[in-house]
Amino acid sequence: MRHRRIPRNFHQDLLKTTLSPDIFQVFALSVISGYRMADWLRLFGLPIEQIPRLQLSLPAKRTALLASIPFPGNADEEWTFDFRRPVESIYPLGRLLHANQIRLSTRVRQPQAENYLYARVGLQDAFAFPDLLPGSILRIDSRQPQRFLPLRNGETSRAFFLMEHTRGLVCCRLRRADSRRVTLHTSQLAFAEVSLELDREAQVRGVVDLEIRDLTYSKSPEVPRVLEKFWKPGSFESFERSRSLGRWIRAARLRSDLHFREASAQTAFIAEVLRDPRYFIASGSLSDYETSDTPPRHIQKILSLCAIYSLEFPTFLENVGLPLAKSGRDALPEFLSPSPPIVPTSPSLQALVGHLEGLPHFLAGSLPEVLGLANPAVRDIFWLDGKRVSFHPYLPGALLVAVDRRRKRPQPLFHVAIANQPLYLLLKRDGSYLCGRCSLEGSNLIVHPFSNGLVEAARFRNRVDAEMKIRSRRNVSFSWAQAEQITSRIRNLDGLGDTRREQYSTLILLAAASGLRSSELLALRINDVDFEASTIRVDESSDQRNNGTIGSCKNAAAYRTVLLHDPEGKESMRELKRLLMGRLNAETLVFRSQRGGPLLETTILNQGLYPALKALDLPQGGLHGFRRGCNRRWELAGINPAVIRQQMGHSSYRMTALYSGEIPLDQVRAAFSSKLLEKMENGVAA
């Protein structure tokens, strides 16, 4: 109990300094308050949901289990729909969800942790290549895997198994050697096929029933020398079995096949990504942890250890004498939560992954790393009927595919095998989709075989018969008049506190008047605003993919001072001055959470903007719509394009021109009326 003591001045130290509590103090807070330890960690800026995300960001030499941390949200809510199979073999997921009337239900989800494990295939032990690719994420069904084992001697299994032995984990097919022994089977790579006695030298952890693979993966798997040669298996001891903390960490490092310098370099990468040096662990410290049963002082280092060595955080707590079963069970109240719960009206891709039964929920916070897309959305995902049509050697049985909309020019790689060629999704003139290996020859798109059962190449006129472009949503733009309507509506929304109403409405007016990016607005500090000069300085940005962390701006042109001298700008500055009245600390954020941190854009959208747009029957769009509207307003007012580019923080004139878009007829009429009035006034003056 000595480690769990909380000093009497603990609360004051947290308020006045940058003190970070240790793992024993957070556990004690959870026990005393009855609130979940994960919520306390999140309150201190240490969300354990980032562990699987970090694991997926790091290179993995050996197969490892991923931390099965659930999606943070209401455990009693899930998205459900009655699935009706579409006629087409390729169909946009968003359209499919709309047709099936997806809805939010409040039934209690059954826990998946008991049924499924999740593993990532390593680069140096890809026994099942090419059926399972290095880097793929696998779902392992741990319910009675023995029934899938081959029965006759010499028979090879059709299923892939996750096997655990003295050297770690491996996913492969199994060949029956005798009644008690199986052999690790590989079809293409020169791994030594070692025979293992079940339950004494190895354990079957489960059967692979789902794979998430990267079709752009081009690295060839490696066969290390240590796995080329036959090795003598030892007596198996479960990795999760209770042992001292130091021995457990050492065993985890050896399973990961990491030297101290390699492991230290990975923690340096984590510290750089999270912008916190406390995540870095020196080689000497890593060595010391293996000889001590005392955990690191900083929780950040514990999270780094869990990420690089694939350690389960609850098991780590058990090994330091902090059983999670004895901590608090209740959810943290909404007024204490750093990110209040959101009740969405339609599912985002993150919410779908986090709440649809049967999907690995921890991937909800790791979608950019898994899909390779900076801001993945539902419109980037397409449903495939892989059972009806074999699109490609890697796609039989496929369910979903993610599309990178930025890569629209086919670039065939003639130096690699056909099965490793990149796949493209084409939109045909009749509205149907075609998935396949493509090349561009002049003005023609050539779709090669292995595409929807094609037996010969098909030729299409590019952008006439078919185009390598998935139609995106129309760019939404909000005028100043619409911004005022939206602001008025937000101020009358039910369920929002007065502080949130004022912050959201002022932020939207300022966005419409200044054209600032949402990331720039959410990083504004009081000393960035000069009310006398009517200017706003932009020198920071909020990274919304990293819990709003304040950092550098998007590009060099984004560092600027924006002048707000037009009527709209002056009105927004008056509202901003009213919002900031009484605030004395010039370093604090203009738009901030209850704890003083940056607001999250998703919270603003779901709590304020989207309900207001729905009530006003306006098209749904994000905060960027006010930036487009500001750009258009300045253009119609005749502002010099060079001035607009500087005010908007664009790096080129081309980008500024893209923001104009299609101008609504009412704004065209207003522009003509303004010009006619100006001519009449000039004529009278003459």
Q: Looking at the structure, do residues 212 and 265 belong to the same domain, yes or no?
A: no
Q: How far is CA 462 from the centre of its chain?
A: 33
Whether 628 is in a domain gets the answer: yes
Residue 678 predicted with pLDDT over 70: no
Q: Looking at the structure, do residues 491 and 396 belong to the same domain, yes or no?
A: no
Sequence-ordered alpha helix ranges (H) in 282-366: 283-289, 299-309, 313-319, 349-355
Q: Looking at the structure, do residues 623 and 664 belong to the same domain, yes or no?
A: yes
**Do 639 and 604 contact (CB within 8 A), yes or no?**
no
Spatial distance between the Cα atoms of 398 and 383, rounded to a whole number of angstroms: 9
Domain boundary among 442, 467, 492: 467
Whether 543 is in a domain gets the answer: yes
Domain that holds residue 413: 349-467
**By C-alpha distance, which of 503, 509, 506 is closest to 478?**
509
**Do 231 and 225 contact (CB within 8 A), yes or no?**
no
Spatial distance between the Cα atoms of 478 and 76, rounded to a whole number of angstroms: 36
Whether 166 is in a domain gets the answer: yes
Written as one letter, the residue type at 590 is: V
Sequence-ordered alpha helix ranges (H) in 213-282: 225-228, 245-256, 260-274
**By C-alpha distance, which of 647, 649, 680, 491 is closest to 562?**
647
Q: Looking at the structure, do residues 153 and 214 belong to the same domain, yes or no?
A: yes
Spatial distance between the Cα atoms of 447 and 439, rounded to a whole number of angstroms: 7
Q: CB neighbours (10 Å) of residue 204?
A: 20
Q: CB neighbours (10 Å) of residue 108?
A: 10
Whether 319 is in a domain gets the answer: yes
Helix (H) / strand (E) element for 42: namely helix 37-43
Backbone angles phi, psi at 298, to 5 degrees: -90, 130
Q: Looking at the structure, do residues 494 and 599 belong to the same domain, yes or no?
A: yes
Residue 521 predicted with pLDDT over 90: yes
Residue 446 has a pLDDT of 79
Q: Looking at the structure, do residues 389 and 535 belong to the same domain, yes or no?
A: no
Q: What's the token pair of residue 504?
A: 């959201």
- How confident is the model over 51-79, as a mean pLDDT? 74
Q: What is the pLDDT of residues 433-475, one digit of tens each?
A: 877 777 777 777 777 765 555 556 677 776 666 666 544 444 6
Whole-number mean pLDDT of the chain? 79
Whether 100 is in a domain gets the answer: no
Residue 524 has a pLDDT of 93
**By C-alpha distance, which of 661, 607, 673 is closest to 629?**
661
Q: Looking at the structure, do residues 509 and 417 belong to the same domain, yes or no?
A: no
Higher pLDDT, 447 or 640: 640
**By C-alpha distance, which of 74, 71, 64, 66 is closest to 47?**
71
Spatial distance between the Cα atoms of 202 and 624, rounded to a whole number of angstroms: 55
Burial environment of residue 503 by CB neighbours within 10 A (0 to 12, 13 to 18, 19 or more): buried
Higher pLDDT, 612 or 114: 612
Higher pLDDT, 334 or 111: 334
**DSSP codes, 592-655:** B-TTS-BPPHHHHIIIIIHHHHHHHTPPP--THHHHHHHHHHHHHTT--HHHHHHHHT-SSHHH
- How confident is the model over 549-562, as a mean pLDDT? 86
Q: Looking at the structure, do residues 572 and 645 belong to the same domain, yes or no?
A: yes
Strands 549-551 and 541-543, bridge-based pairing? antiparallel
Residue 406 predicted with pLDDT over 60: yes
Helix (H) / strand (E) element for 485: namely helix 480-490
CB burial of 206-233 (b: ≥16 within 10 Å; e: otherwise) equals bbbebbbbebeeeeebebeeebeeeeee
Q: What is the DSSP letter of 36?
A: -
- Residue 387, classed as helix, strand or coil, is coil
Domain boundary among 467, 502, 535: 467
- Residue 182, classed as helix, strand or coil, is strand
Whether 252 is in a domain gets the answer: no
Residue 227 predicted with pLDDT over 50: yes
Residue 108 has a pLDDT of 47
Q: Looking at the structure, do residues 437 and 505 belong to the same domain, yes or no?
A: no
Spatial distance between the Cα atoms of 185 and 59, rounded to a whole number of angstroms: 25
% the chain with pLDDT above 70: 75
Residues β-bridged to residue 666: none
Higher pLDDT, 353 or 22: 22
Place of tokens 């510290």: 271
Q: Looking at the structure, do residues 458 and 489 belong to the same domain, yes or no?
A: no
Q: What's the token pair of residue 425?
A: 């999704």
- How confident is the model over 357-377, as a mean pLDDT? 72
- Residue 139, classed as helix, strand or coil, is strand
CATH number at residue 583: 1.10.443.10
- How confident is the model over 71-100, as a mean pLDDT? 62
**Do 376 and 367 contact (CB within 8 A), yes or no?**
yes
Whether 73 is in a domain gets the answer: no
Q: Looking at the structure, do residues 505 and 648 belong to the same domain, yes or no?
A: yes
**By C-alpha distance, which of 211, 288, 304 is closest to 250?**
288
Residue 579 predicted with pLDDT over 50: yes
Spatial distance between the Cα atoms of 535 and 356, rounded to a whole number of angstroms: 47
Domain boundary among 467, 493, 516: 467
Please tell me the total count of domains within the chain.
Answer: 4
**Highest mean pLDDT range out of 420-429, 510-519, 590-599, 675-684?**
510-519
Helix axes of 260-274 and 50-57: crossing angle, nearest 10 degrees: 120
Residue 260 has a pLDDT of 95
Spatial distance between the Cα atoms of 180 and 153, rounded to a whole number of angstroms: 10
Using alpha carbons only, how large is the chain's radius of gyration in Å? 29
**By C-alpha distance, which of 170, 145, 148 is closest to 158?**
148
Q: Looking at the structure, do residues 460 and 365 belong to the same domain, yes or no?
A: yes
Number of continuous H segments (helices) and E segments (strands) in the chain: 23, 24
Whether 188 is in a domain gets the answer: yes
Residue 473 has a pLDDT of 40
- How confident is the model over 572-576, as a mean pLDDT? 93
- For residue 340, say if its preceding peptide bond is cis, omega within 30 degrees of 0: no
Q: What is the pLDDT of residues 270-314, one digit of tens each?
A: 998 888 899 999 999 999 999 998 999 899 999 999 999 999 899
> Residues 6 or more apart from 131 whose CB is under 8 A from it?
160, 187
**DSSP codes, 263-275:** HHHHHHHHHHHHT
